[in-house]
Structures are given as structure tokens and as C-alpha cells.
Chain A
Amino acid sequence: MEKKTVTIIAAVVVVAIVVVAAVLVGFGGNGGDDSSGDSEIASQLQIRGNANDDYTIDDKDMEILEDVMAGERSISDYPLADVNNDGNVDETDKQLLQDLIDRKDGTTVYVLCLDVNGEPTTVSCTYPLRDVVPYGTNIQLPTLYANGGQYVAGYFVSSYETAESSISDSAVDLGGSQRQISDAAWKNFTALDANTEGGLGALLVDYSGIAQITDVRAADLEAAEIPMIIYSSADAISEITTVLTLGFLFGGDCETIGVEYAQKSWDIINQIDEAVGGLSDDDKCSYICCTMYIYICENDSTFNSSASTAGGLPYYAVNQDFADTYTGDGSTKMQSVEALSNFTDVGAILNNRSMDWGLDAAGIEDLVIDTWDHDNKGVSSTMYFKGFEDRLVYINNLLPGAVKVAYMAHAMYGDDFSREWADGVLQDFIDMGTAPLDGQTLDTILAYIDHDLYMEVTA
């Protein structure tokens, strides 16, 4: 062959390869599952000894501790170098940290969490954490997402049979309810402690249910030396930290899945942030969050913070009347079907509902209709959202935080984040091997309901 021809063919082949590669890579930008663990895990593991405030405890933390001991770094910059929370960094801390790095059984680990008043505090327990009792959906699900179901010795209430099926079969039903731990249920809890070899490992409490831990019960826990670890994990980003921390505490494959969970979650969050985080407020999509069908989430609600993570602009930033009416951190029932009528310029209405999975096609249809057209004491939900049907979506609140955020991003920025992409996020979490999603598929979980789906189902 002539040299010219060979050169041309070589060039074409190279270009072709480059183009193909570019196409392959480019496709990944809008729905591919090639998130290769690029993002930094921005969650801080809530364990003392995590001196560098990253997502794990390793030799990097030991370096910092040694520097602090040597005086080269200051303890006020690296407070978690004080592993045993005694105010200084010394040999004891070093020994403890080494045990933690080695993941040694029986180590006393100091966990950062909340106290009964919601203030940050430190609670000590034994590594690895076993025989726990969770109270509150917002801590029970993260426990299960960290594959901690096998270490649950008892539970106060389990409302979602399929989603919570990973709770150990030998776990004891203590007989509480969603809103209350009765005296009888607490007695069952204490009896469980008496009957558990070595006593219970910890009581995990969701802060929203803290009122049920009365002074008497807190005194019981203290006297019996049962650690109480309190987290407020309703918000997506807090949830990641909780799963990460619980995973670490449970140890072994739980720690692994905790890290994977966090990694994947941050990948999604960063992906969303890259696409829409830089938008000016005028270009952002505004949202109103709802829950329990017709309750509007107040300005400081955790649902709102999740939606903001998804790139949305809270509606109270756009409309002063809304901001004034819905102050607080809980939710308010819509006074009438006209409640939303003054807010017609909102971009999306993100309604949150907890829906168990393990459904078949008929079950999904029924659930869609029941959710969209819910009977609120004689008035259908559709009446409340009249005129907003194209902007209203329901998102399954039991899903991992990042998955919910993904669906929220799809709802608000459909052009950037397609439905397939969001479903793909869910599929990733299923594939990850988290226990609650074990055995589920996109067809057995009702993750997302929009008007199209409703029309499809009722056609």
C-alpha cells in the first residue's frame, strides 16, 4: 500500500476509536451507571478517633493523633483525636485508636450522637455493636440499610413487613406503637435486657420520638448501662451519615456496605449538584414538599432539606406569604382544598409517602390509585391538588435517601435527569445488596408516582 493510504486509514481508525470512546463516555453523562466511585464521601463518620473527619478510621487518623500528641497539631483543630473524650490526647487515646484501626473486638468505642435535648454528645459502647433495639422508622430503616437487621435483638414496632423483613427472626416484638412506648412495651424491653447474655448493646433512638424516653426510662438505661444512641436522620444527608456510622459500629460486612452506601449516595448527590447546583435562583425549580397526603411541610422540615439537596429551591424563598404561613419544622394540614391556590407558580410538588414493597402489578396499581386519589375523610386528594396535577409527584419515603433525592431531581429537572436515570439509581442500590431491598426489583417497588402513571393505571 501507499504510505499515504496507510496514514489515512490509521487516522480514520484512531478518530473512529476516539469518537466511539467519546460517545460511550458521553452517554454515561445522562443515565449510565458508570459512577466509578469518583466522588468524595463527604459524610463524617461519627466516631471519636476519626481525627481527619472523613468517612472511616484508618492510619491517616493515627498520623494526626501522633502529631497532636507531639504538639505539632492542635487538639482544637482535630477534636476527634481525643478518642476517649477525656479532654486530652495521650497514650490511652493512641492505644484505643490502634484497636479501632485494627477493628478489634471488645474495644470501647465513643460515638458522637445527640442527647435527649438534641445537643451533641458522646456515648460509649462496645465494638462491634450487637443486640440493638431501634425505636423510630427514621433510625430503624438506616439500621437495616446498614445490614444491621441481623443484630436487632428486639424492636418496638415494625410497620413495613417487606421493607423491614431483614430484622432477625429471633428479634422480640416489644409491643410499642408508632407514637408511643407504653409501660408494658418498656417492661418487655427491660426483660429483654435481663434475658440477653451480657445485656443489650444499645438503644437506637430517632430523635423525633425522644419524648417517649422519659426521665424514668433514661434513668433505667443509665443504671443498666445500656448506651442510648440518638440520631435525627430524616434528612437525606444525615441519613447517609447514620448508615455509615451504624455500619461501622456493626462491623464486618456492615461496615463495607455502609461505605458503599455512602459512596453511591454521594456520587448521586454530586452528580445532581454538578448539573444544577450552579443555577441561579431564578433558573432553579421551586418546590413545595408535602407529606401524609395533604400536609404541607413547614419551612425547616427535613423533607425540604432533602429536596434542596436535589437542587430545588424551596418555595418559601420565592413567596413571602408561604414563608410566613408555614413556619416551623413539622407539617401543617391543608386547611381547605384551596390551600395551594395562591401558589400556582411553584415548580414542583413533592409529596412523600411511606409505601412497603414486595408488590405485584395489581398491588402497584391499587397503591397508585390509593395514593393519588386518597380519601381524606370524604375529600379526595385530587381536589387539593387541582391544577397542579402535572407538577405533583409522590415519592416513596422508605427508599434510601439518595434514591429519594434522585427522584426529586427527576421531578424538578426532568430534562437533566430522566426517569430511566432515577430508576437506575434505585437499581444500583438494589444491586448493592442492602438488606431491605433484597429480592426486590423495579416492578415490586412503587418508588414514584406522577400524573402519567396515574392516568395509565386508571385508563
Chain B
Amino acid sequence: MEYEEEGLTRDGLKEEYHHAIARKIILLTVCVLGIVLFVGLLSLSNYEGVGLKETYEIIWNHILGNEYPSKSLFWWADRYIWNTAFPHALAAIIAGAALAICGTMMQSMMVNPLADPYSTGISSGACFGAICAIVVGVSFSSVTGEMGIVTNAFIGAMVPALLIVFLAQRIHMTPATLILLGTAISYFFNSMITYLMVTTDADTLQSAYMWQVGSLDGMSWDSLPIMAVVTVIGSAIVMLLSSKLNVMSLGENSAISLGVDVERFRLLCLVLMAVMTAAIVSFTGIIGFIGLVAPHMVRLVIGSDNRFVAPISMAAGALLLLAADYIAFQFSDIPVGVVMSVIGSPVFFLIILWQTRKAGAIY
């Protein structure tokens, strides 16, 4: 055959391929640097006289074990940074990373760019559990109090997931079926939530609603271990599965022909995603948009190869949530879920618009 252009040599191809990989690593580095910056910003105490430079200084001193004179401004700033700001920032990083990678997995698995971790009704299940605890004081386990809300939310989140898994053994599940089932389950739980919220008093109503909206307030070192462990293990598994996810995104028929047992794999992903999302959401409430937007932002820059999109979306998700948290922090009392939605929706809007101008499809 005659070629229209000068073809690549074998080595040329390999070179270009490795270049593309290098680009992806650069993006990852940028995200990580951004994270470090925002951790510093978040720790910015707004104590007068403690600026960004001093903040990093305080963190450094703490790591070295140096102490400040008791009850002085820097002493308080040090306490604040380590007891409040740091766990808060870490929670943002963990939650952002976990939600982003769940979003990546969900979108590949459903072959749907608009899927996010909440598409299967997990969020409304979790809300229902939490609100049962908050409004009615009913606990699904023997745990009460603050942790009671968390365990309730976790159990509530797993209900839709397990229901879908159970149904999947019996009927043929396409991605469309999954999402529709998830929507139906959402409707059900939402109606129960509305009922509970409507019949309660203003205070409880506000607590319940605040929980739903999603916030990182009150994150302490105690809440972190579970979130961290689940995220680390879960994302490691996802990254191992990332080439299979690539195959899934080719469509069901192609995936089967390439050796992926689509139905079983989808169930595995579903359970994995449910556990990760539930673990995060039980502590933070429903923070939306990260699972939806972070993977897209990453794909814009480096394409759709999940072997890279998965880990880098974690960094991007963490950065995104940190940024949103910082903005929420400036306007104190606004929960981070609200800020996330406010910046998430126009960003998403723009992504779609910008891409449709470039090419026919979304990318």
C-alpha cells in the first residue's frame, strides 16, 4: 500500500509512546505540588502574624519536635494546625482521591461519561441511614452517638449496592439497567428521607440537612484511619484492574471478546466502589461532583487510558476538594459540598462545551 504520510518507524513509535507516558507523570507531579500548596493554605491560621511562610515553618518545627512557649500565638497556631487543620486537609485529600477514583471506575464500568459513584443509589441509602440516626435516634447497629451516625450511614449505603448485586444474579444487567435501578432506589430512599425531615423540628432538620450536603467539619485524627485504609486498599485494587477497565470502556461485546467476563467484573467493581464510597460518605456526607468532574479533567489532558487516569484522578480529586475546602474556609459556615457543587457544575458545563467544539464526541 502507498502511504499518505511518512510512517513511523518501530523505534519512533516506542519513543512517542514513552513521551506520552512522561507527560502523564508531569501532570501527576503538578497535582501533587498543588496539594502540598493547598495543605499549607488550609493550615493558614488567620492568626494575625502567621502567614503562609510561617505556616510551613510551624509544620516543619512540629515534625522536628520543637515546641513554642505555652499559650502564645504560635503555640495555639501549632495546635490548631496539627489538631484541626491537618486532619481536615488529610480528610480532604483522602475523600477527594477516593471519590475521584470511584468516579473513574464507575465511568469506565458503565461506559457512560456521566456516571458517578452515586449513580447506583448509594448516596441516598447513606443519607437515609444517617438521617435515621439523627432524626429518629434509631441505630442499625449497637453503636450510638457520633459513631452511630457513621455506622448507620455505612450500612444504609451498602443496602442499594447489595440489592443490586443480589438482583444481578437473577437478571441480565446492562449498564443502563444498573443506573435505572439505582435511580429507582434513590427515589425510594429520598421519599423516606423527605418524610423524616418534614416531620421533625427545625434544629434536627438543620443537622440532618447539613449532614446531607457534605462537609469536612469536625474531622479529627480518629475518623481518618478507616477512610485512609479503605482508600489505599481500594485504589490499589482499582489500579490493578485498570487495564480491564480500559477493555470495559470499549463496550460490552468488545470486552467479552477480549476476555473480560463483563457481568462478574461489573459486580466486583460495584461492590468495591460501594465500600469505598460508603466509607468516605459515612464520615463526610454527600460531597458531589468530584467523582464526576475529576476524571474528566484528567482525561482532557492525558486521554482515557485508565492505567494513568485512575491514579492521576486521585491526585486531581484530592486537589479539587482541597481547593473547594479552602474556598469554603474563606466563607466560614459554608459546607464544602455546596462549594463543590457551585464550582463543579460550571466546570463540567465548560468541559462539555469546549470539547464539542473540538470534536464530535465528548473528547
Residues of A within 8 A of B (CB): 175, 177, 179, 182-187, 190-191, 193-195, 199, 214-216, 219-220, 223-225, 292, 295, 331-333, 335
In the bound complex, CA of A224 to CA of B46 (Å): 19
Q: Which residue of B lies closest to A294 (CB)?
A: B201
Instruction: Name the A residues within 8 Å of B46 (CB-CB).
Output: 184, 187
Q: Do A219 and B83 contact each other (CB < 8 Å), given the known contacts A177-B333, A191-B47, A333-B201?
A: yes
CB-nearest residue of chain B relative to A189?
Answer: B76
Residues of A within 8 A of B48 (CB): 191
Whether B80 and A187, one on each chain, are in contact in the complex, defined by CB atoms closer than 8 angstroms, is yes
Stretch from B67-75, B154-162, B174-182, B281-289 forming part of the interface with A: B67-75
> Which chain B residue lies CB-closest to A200?
B71
CB-defined interface of B212-251 with A at 8 Å, one 1/0 digit per residue?
0000011010000000000000000000000000000000
CA distance A132 to B249 in the complex (A): 63
**Which residues from B are CB-within-8-Å of A190?**
76, 79-80
Given contact pairs A185-B332, A186-B84, A223-B70, enumerate 4 new A-B contacts (beta carbons under 8 Å). Answer: A183-B84, A187-B47, A193-B71, A332-B201
Partner of B332, one of A184, A191, A194, A224: A184
Closest 7 CB pairs of A and B: A184-B332, A194-B73, A190-B76, A333-B201, A216-B83, A194-B76, A224-B71
Chain A CB within 8 A of B206 CB: yes
A270 vs B323: C-alpha distance in the bound complex, in angstroms? 62
Q: How far is the CA of A266 from the CA of B3 in the complex (A)?
A: 105
Residues of A contacting B2 in the complex (Cβ-Cβ under 8 angstroms): none
Give residues in B with beta carbon < 8 Å to A: 45-48, 70-73, 75-76, 79-80, 83-84, 88, 199-203, 206, 217-218, 220, 329, 332-333
15 contacts between A and B (CB under 8 A): A179-B203, A182-B332, A183-B88, A184-B332, A187-B45, A191-B48, A193-B71, A194-B71, A195-B73, A214-B218, A223-B79, A224-B71, A225-B71, A292-B202, A332-B201
Which single member of B71, B76, B80, B333 contacts A182 (CB below 8 Å)?
B333
Closest Cβ of chain B: how far from A298's Cβ, in Å?
12
Q: How far is the CA of A186 from the CA of B217 in the complex (A)?
A: 12
Do the beta carbons of A220 and B79 come within 8 Å of each other?
yes
Cβ A194 vs Cβ B201 within 8 A = no
Chain B: which residue is nearest A333 at the CB level?
B201
CA distance A427 to B172 in the complex (A): 80
Give the number of residue pairs across the A-B interface with Cβ within 8 Å. Answer: 61
Cα A214 to Cα B141 in complex, Å, equals 23
Q: How far is the CB of A193 from chain B (nearest CB, A)?
A: 6
Residues of B within 8 A of A215 (CB): 220
CA A224 to CA B45, docked complex, whole Å = 18
Residues of B within 8 A of A175 (CB): 332
Chain B residue contacts of A199, Cβ below 8 A: 71
Indicate if the CB atoms of B73 and A191 lie closer than 8 Å: yes
B220 contacts A224, CB within 8 Å?
Answer: no
Give the complex CA separation of A182 and B335 in angstroms: 11
Residues of B within 8 A of A225 (CB): 71
**Shortest CB distance B216–A (Å):** 10
Q: Are A194 and B72 in contact (CB under 8 A)?
A: yes
Q: How far is the CA of A190 from the CA of B76 in the complex (A)?
A: 7
Given that A187-B46, A191-B73, A194-B72 are known contacts, is A220 also in contact with B83, CB under 8 Å in the complex?
Answer: yes
Interface centre among B46, B80, B220 (most CB of A within 10 A): B80
Bound form: Cα–Cα A8–B203 in Å: 76
Residue in A closest to B200 when the chains form the complex, CB atoms: A333
> Using Cβ atoms and an 8 Å threshold, which residues of chain A touch B72?
194
Give which listed residue, A179, A191, A216, A332, contacts B76 with CB less than 8 A.
Answer: A191
List of B residues within 8 angstroms of A220 by Cβ: 79, 83
CB distance from A266 to the nearest CB of B (A): 34
CA distance A213 to B280 in the complex (A): 24
Chain B residues near A335 (CB, 8 Å)? 199
Residues on A with C-beta less than 8 A from B333 are 177, 182, 184
- What's the Cα separation between A195 and B47 when bound, in Å? 11
Residues of chain A within 8 A of B75, CB atoms compared: 194
CB A177 to nearest CB in B, in angstroms, measures 7
Query: Contacts A184-B46, A224-B70, A295-B201 given: A179-B206 contact, CB under 8 Å?
Result: yes
Residue on B with the closest CB to A199?
B71
Q: Kindly list chain B residues whose C-beta atoms are within 8 Å of the C-beta of A331.
A: 201
Could you tell me the distance between the alpha carbons of A219 and B82 in the complex, rounded to whole angstroms?
13
**How far apart are the CA atoms of A59 and B48 in the complex, in Å?**
49
Distance, CA A186 to CA B48, complexed state (A): 15
Chain B residues positioned under 8 Å from A214 (CB to CB): 218, 220
A244 to chain B, nearest CB (A): 31
In Å, the complex CA distance between A182 and B84 comes to: 11
CB distance from A295 to the nearest CB of B (A): 7
In the complex the two chains form, is B73's CB within 8 Å of A216's CB? no
* A179-B203 Cα distance, complex, nearest whole Å: 8
Residues of A within 8 A of B203 (CB): 179
Point out the residues of chain A lying under 8 angstroms from B200, CB to CB: 333
**In the complex the two chains form, what is the Cα distance from A332 to B206 in whole Å?**
15
Q: Please give the distance in Å from B349's CB to the nearest CB on chain A.
A: 31
Contacts of A182 in B (CB 8 A): 217, 332-333
CB A402 to nearest CB in B, in angstroms, measures 28
CA distance A332 to B201 in the complex (A): 7
B150 to chain A, nearest CB (A): 15
A-chain residues with CB within 8 Å of residue B199 when the two chains form the complex: 335
Q: Which residues of A contact B329 (CB under 8 A)?
A: 184
A301 → chain B, closest Cβ, in Å? 14
Write the nearest CB–CB distance from B49 to chain A, whole angstroms.
10
User: Which residues does chain B contribute within 8 Å of A191, judged by CB atoms?
Assistant: 47-48, 73, 76
Complexed CA–CA distance, A185 and B76 (Å): 14
* B residues in contact with A292, CB < 8 Å: 201-202
